[in-house]
Structure 1
Amino acid sequence: MKNDLPDGRLVIPSMQAHCSPAEWQARVDLAACYRLVAMYGMADMMANHISSRVPDEDDAFLINAYGMMYEEITASSLIKVSHDGTVLSQPDFGELNYGINKAGYVIHSAVHEARPEVACVIHTHSWASMAVSSLQCGLLPLTQTAMRFLHIGYHDYQGVVLDLAEQASLVKDLGPGEALILRNHGALTVGRTVGEAFNWMHRLELACRSQLAAMACNTPFSPVAQPVLEDTWNNYQPGTRRPYGVMEWPALLRSLDRIDPGYRT
C-alpha cells in the first residue's frame, strides 16, 4: 500500500469505525493538540510526544506514530497502547510500517499509570524550554505568567529516557503538579483534559521565552515580594479557578478548523 499523495499528504485509513465515540473524540482532540503545538512553534519535527488516556479504558492511551510530523497527525494515525507497551490498535500504515517512540512510551506510560486523573501528557523540546532546562537557576518567577509555575518540579537528566527504571523518579519529581522541567532536556505538562494540558504548556513556553528575553538584556530584574508570588501562584491553581481549557479549547479548535481541518480525519 502506497501512503502518499502527490501533494505530500499521507493517506491513513479511517479508524472511526474501529473505536467508540468517546475514543474517537479523544483522538480528534489529541490530533488537534499535535497540530496546535506545531502551529505555536513548540514542535521538534517528529520527535517528542503527546498522549491522551482512552476514555473508559483504564490501561490504554493514544500516542503518535514515530515518523510523522506534528502537522500531519490525524485522529486515525494515532496508535493505542497499553501501559505495558502492547499495541492495542493502529491503522494500516502500509509500507511505512510506523511504530511508537520508545522514550515516548517510557515517559507517558509512567505518568498515565501513576496519575489516573491525568487525561493528557505533553512533552516538548522547544528552544525556550531546552534553554531554561539547562540553566542552574531554572525557571524564575519574573512575570505573572511565570508565577503560575512558582512550584514547578525538576527532573535531573539521566540520559535518553529509554530505561523503565527512570519512571519512578520521573513520577516522583512531577508529584501532584501540572508541570515539570526536564533538566538539560525540555518540558512536560499534564492536564485533566487535552485543552488543560495544552494551556499549561503554552503558558510554560511563554514563561521560558520571556525569561530568556529578560536575561538577554543584562540588567537587574524587578523583584516581587514572596507573599505576592505565593498569592499569585495560588490564584492559578485548579482549586482556585475554573479548569484551564474550558473556554480556550473550543476557540482553539475553531481557529484550527479555519486553517487546518485535516486533523479530524
Structure 2
Amino acid sequence: MPISQLQFPGVRHLVDDAEWQTRVDLAAAYRLVAMFGWDDLIFTHLTAKIPGTEHFLINPYGVMFDEVTASSLVKVNLQGEKVMESAYDIIPAGFLIHSTVHAARPDATYVMHVHSINGVAVSAKQEGLLPISQQALFVMGSLGYHDYEGIALKDAERETLTRDLGNHQYLMLRNHGLLTTGRSAADAFLAMHKFESACMIQVRAQSGGSEMVRIPDAILDNAPEQIAAGRRGRGPEIVWPSLLRRVARLSPGFDE
C-alpha cells in the first residue's frame, strides 16, 4: 500500500494577515531546520508569538519538520492549551521551555530550540563554546548556559531557565542542545545558523589534535558591542528572502 502524504485543513480564511504571515515564516523555518540537518525527527520545537495576542504557534506532534505547513501549526496559549481546533497535540516538555522563554522575554517573538549533533557535543564540553572562530565571537557576545535538569517537565525549571537566559539571545542547554531568540523568524534563524556553525567548527577543530588559536581577550571584550551593532543592522532581513526562495524551490507547500 503506498504511503499517502499528510493533508492539513487550510486555516488562511480563519486568521488575520499578521497571524498568517507569522505562520508562513515559522513553517519556512521548520523546513529550513530540516534542510540544514538540525532536526531531531519530531522532538524539538520552534515557536512564534502571534502579533497582538498572548497566543503562540508550535509544531504538531508527530509531523516531521519537512512536512510542517503554515496551516498545520498548532495555536496554543501560555499554558499549552489549544485555542484553535487541531487534530494534533503538542509535546509538553517542549512547550515548557518555549512558554518560559516567551513569558520571560517579551522581545522573544520567535524561539528556536534544536538538538543538533554539533550543538549537543559542544554542550557536553566542560568549557562550552570556545573563542576560536568569528562565528563563536558573535555568539559569545550574548551567550548563557543552562545546566541539565532532566527532561523538561517540571515547573521548577522555569525559574532556572529564566535566570540563565537573562537578556541573552543564545542559550546553550548543557547535555541537551541550543536555543536562540529573535524579534523575527529571520533574526532567530540566522542566530541559530551562527550558533550551530560555531559548534561545528569547534568539533572539527578539536578533532585535529593540534593546539588551537583562540581569539584574543581584547577582541572578545568588544564582542557585546559588535553584537549590538550587528543586531541594529539588516542582516537577517536581507538574507531571509533568499532563504524563503530556497524553501519554495526545494520544499514547496510550506506556505499552504
Does the alignment reach a TM-score above 0.5?
yes
Cα deviation, residue 211, structure 1: 0.2
Q: For 1:57-84, what per-residue CA distance to the aligned partner results, in whole angstroms no more than 9, with x for missing partners?
A: 0x21100011100000000110111012
Cα separation, 2, equivalents of 1:239 and 1:251 = 19
1:16 aligns with 2:15: no
Give the counterpart letter for 2:233 in structure 1: R
Q: How does 1:34-73 map to 2 (within 5 A)?
A: 34-57=30-53, 59-73=54-68
**Residue correspondences, number:** 255
Cα separation, 2, equivalents of 1:110 and 1:47 = 18
Cα separation, 2, equivalents of 1:166 and 1:243 = 35
In the superposition, relative to structure 1, how do residues 172 and 45 fare at CA in structure 2: closer, same or farther (>3 Å)?
same
Cα separation, 2, equivalents of 1:90 and 1:34 = 21
Q: How does 1:220-259 map to 2 (within 5 A)?
A: 220-237=211-228, 241-259=232-250
In the superposition, relative to structure 1, how do residues 45 and 243 fare at CA in structure 2: closer, same or farther (>3 Å)?
same
Cα separation, 2, equivalents of 1:33 and 1:125 = 15
Cα deviation, residue 223, structure 1: 2.9
In the superposition, relative to structure 1, how do residues 123 and 238 fare at CA in structure 2: closer, same or farther (>3 Å)?
farther
1:108 aligns with 2:95: no
Cα separation, 1, equivalents of 2:136 and 2:190 = 13
In the superposition, relative to structure 1, how do residues 244 and 22 fare at CA in structure 2: closer, same or farther (>3 Å)?
same
Give the counterpart letter for 2:149 in structure 1: Q
Q: For 1:29-88, what per-residue CA distance to the aligned partner results, in whole angstroms no more than 9, with x for missing partners?
A: 00000000000110001010000000110x211000111000000001101110122210
Cα deviation, residue 233, structure 1: 4.5
Aligned to 2:195: 204
Aligned to 2:126: 136
Give the counterpart letter for 2:34 in structure 1: A
In the superposition, relative to structure 1, how do residues 110 and 244 fare at CA in structure 2: closer, same or farther (>3 Å)?
farther
CA RMSD of aligned residues (A): 1.6
Moved over 6 A (4+): none
Cα separation, 1, equivalents of 2:231 and 2:78 = 32
Cα separation, 2, equivalents of 1:13 and 1:122 = 25
Question: Pick from 149, 166, 170: which aligns with 2:157?
Answer: 166
Task: Note the residue ranges of structure 2 that are not aligned, 5 or more in a row.
Answer: none
Q: How does 1:114-193 map to 2 (within 5 A)?
A: 114-151=104-141, 152-193=143-184
Cα deviation, residue 174, structure 1: 0.7
| 8 Å CA contact retained: 1:157, 1:185 | yes
Instruction: Give the SS at the match of 1:52.
Output: strand
Cα separation, 2, equivalents of 1:238 and 1:192 = 15
Cα deviation, residue 112, structure 1: 0.8
Give the counterpart letter for 1:64 in structure 2: N
Give the counterpart letter for 1:130 in structure 2: V
Instruction: Give the SS at the match of 2:139.
Output: coil
Cα separation, 2, equivalents of 1:144 and 1:230 = 14
Cα deviation, residue 6, structure 1: 4.8
Give the counterpart letter for 2:150 in structure 1: G
Give the counterpart letter for 2:37 in structure 1: G
Instruction: Give the SS at the match of 2:113.
Output: strand
Cα separation, 2, equivalents of 1:53 and 1:87 = 14
Cα deviation, residue 239, structure 1: 6.8
Give the counterpart letter for 1:81 in structure 2: V
Identity of aligned residues (%): 42
| 8 Å CA contact retained: 1:154, 1:182 | yes
